[in-house]
Chains A and B, each alone.
Chain A
Amino acid sequence: MIIVAGTPGAGKTSVMTHTIKQLVSKGNKPAVVKIDCLYTDDDTRYGKLGIPTLVGLSKDMCPDHFAIYNLEEMAEWAEKEGVDTLIIETAGLCHRCAPYTENSLGICVIDATSGPNTPRKVGPFLTSADVVAITKGDIISQAEREVFRERVLEMNPKCTIYDVNGLSGQGCAEISEEIMEAKDIMDLENEELRHNAPLCVCTLCVGETKVAKKHHRGVLRRIDGFTKYVGE
């Protein structure tokens, strides 16, 4: 199982499209699930590759959470389709989640033009990834590319970094190799996340729209860092 996460517009689908072509040419049979919030036409893009494709729209729920809740369904579907590799591409919202599980291959796609401070801001979807694919490096200078890469390594020293080009597909052959070598999940029932989801659930998560403090319950954190629990 491969879980792909990344900032919006970083080129996840383009990178995966090229990677999937490589996989197919190597005799691997992949299927792909695209998790998005409100809208996507990426299923038609993936569909053109002639592989089983499924879309999940999380609506007002965090797409990463939605992906995690539906892992078993997706795995069952992939099994029925008789595929070797299940690729789950999740849209992500706040990037405080890391949708990767212990035994999946976690691929983070990140855009070099977002500036070298971005790796410090995005959180566990980058810091707990196995593979980091850096896109759009061709439109910045070599020095900036190297500084970006250094920042990624500062945040996640163990990851393998690939410079990829979503347009030409350069670098995707290496990513397909990583996928071919990824281990299988043997026991999905006991599979765990690599990193816990951020503190939740708060009153806002379940639909409260009033902003005043007295209306809120659950784990509340003040701006000075003081955290308390309000409720039964």
Chain B
Amino acid sequence: MNIEEIKIIGGFNKCGESEKVNELVVKRGEIFGVVGPTGSGKSNLISDIEQLAQGDTPSSRKILVNGNVPDVEMRRDPRKRRIAQLSQNMNFLADMSVEEFLIMHAKSRGMNSEGIVDKVVDLANQLTGEPIKKDYNLTILSGGQSRSLMVADVAVISDSPIVLIDEIENAGIKKHEALELLAGCGKIVMVITHDPVLALMTTRRVVMRNGGMTEIIETTEEEKEVSQRLSEIDSWMLSMREKVRHGEKLNLKDIETPVVSGN
């Protein structure tokens, strides 16, 4: 089944009032943002979509796929699941090696695991500083390594038409590359973010407050320009971060010519 769109039918906020945004449609190829203060219910919105909620979660939201209620099998069986989720929960509890874990995960998605471990690990290592090896135990991976591994896992093993991302910026990985890798082409991507660079990379964003969707903001042309410049500042910051990371010293000259001129 090709997934052309998902529709979120609003439920209730934390006070039991109807959500101001009572219908939200996200189409194929769109990168959609979710913004709002901590505790405003962003993760719950993503979780409702991941579960394809049918009024059975605390928010009472309903999720339609291509305008229809998805069948039970799609909700339940990971082999039929069309949704990949990168949650904030990145601490591995599984006491097994990277290789063993990836093979099991490929199996749970009904995939042939041949060559998949190297592919995921190579991809993960493009996003993080200290390389991951496939015989490493999952529990020793750092925050950045775990997150990179998960991004690569979502790109290769959980490769799905709907991708949900919860705060990718938190773990010191190359977020632009990660988002590009995850968005691929023709996917529906929803990304929770506090990062203005990522937020303005989206076409629209929904504002969350007190557990409810309150407003939808279209990214304006001006904002796209802001995004471009922020992006330049960001890579400038990143270049200095890399210097510090590699044990180099910074001097005043490094911050003399930040590329914020716009052209």
Contacts and interface: CB of A to CB of B under 8 A. Distances in A.
Interface of A: 113-117, 138-144, 146-147, 149-151, 161-163, 168, 170, 173
Given A170-B51, A173-B56, A143 B95 contact: no
Contacts of B57: 168, 170
A143 B76 contact: no
Report the interface size class on chain B. 20 to 34
User: What are the 9 A-B residue pairs with the smallest beta carbon separation, nearest first?
Assistant: A150-B108, A146-B108, A142-B85, A146-B78, A147-B104, A116-B94, A115-B93, A168-B58, A143-B105
Interface in B147-172: 150, 153-154, 157-158
A23 B104 CA distance: 36
B68 interface: no
Given A113-B93, A114-B93, A143-B105, 18 more contacts: A117-B96, A141-B85, A141-B87, A141-B89, A141-B90, A142-B87, A143-B101, A143-B154, A143-B157, A143-B158, A146-B105, A147-B104, A147-B105, A150-B107, A161-B76, A170-B56, A170-B57, A173-B56
B47 to A, nearest CB: 7
Interface of B: 47, 50-51, 56-58, 76, 78, 84-87, 89-90, 92-96, 101, 104-105, 107-109, 150, 153-154, 157-158
B47 A138 contact: yes
A104 to B, nearest CB: 23
Contacts of A141: 85-87, 89-90, 92, 150
Given A116-B104, A139-B89, A142-B50, A147 B94 contact: yes
Contact of A116 (B56, B84, B96): B96
A117 B150 CA distance: 20
A168 B47 CA distance: 13
A168 B51 CA distance: 13
B150 A143 contact: yes
A134 B69 CA distance: 24
Contacts of A138: 47, 89
Nearest to B157: A143
A91 B47 CA distance: 31
Residue from A113, A143, A150, A161 with most neighbouring chain B CB atoms (10 Å): A143
Given A141-B150, A142-B85, A170-B51, A149 B108 contact: yes
Contacts of B47: 138
B158 A142 contact: yes
B158 A115 contact: no
A82 B9 CA distance: 42
Given A113-B93, A115-B95, A143-B153, A150 B104 contact: yes
Contacts of B76: 161-162
Contact of A144 (B50, B94, B107): B94
Contact of A115 (B56, B89, B94): B94
17 contacts: A114-B93, A115-B95, A140-B93, A141-B85, A141-B86, A142-B85, A142-B86, A142-B87, A144-B93, A146-B108, A147-B101, A147-B105, A149-B108, A168-B58, A170-B51, A170-B56, A173-B56
A140 B89 contact: yes
Residue among A114, A115, A147, A162 with the highest chain B CB neighbour number at 10 A: A147
Nearest to B90: A141
Nearest to A112: B93
A168 B57 CA distance: 7
Contacts of A168: 57-58
A23 to B, nearest CB: 15
A71 B58 CA distance: 37
A85 B150 CA distance: 44
Given A147-B105, A147-B108, A149-B108, A142 B84 contact: yes
A140 B109 CA distance: 17
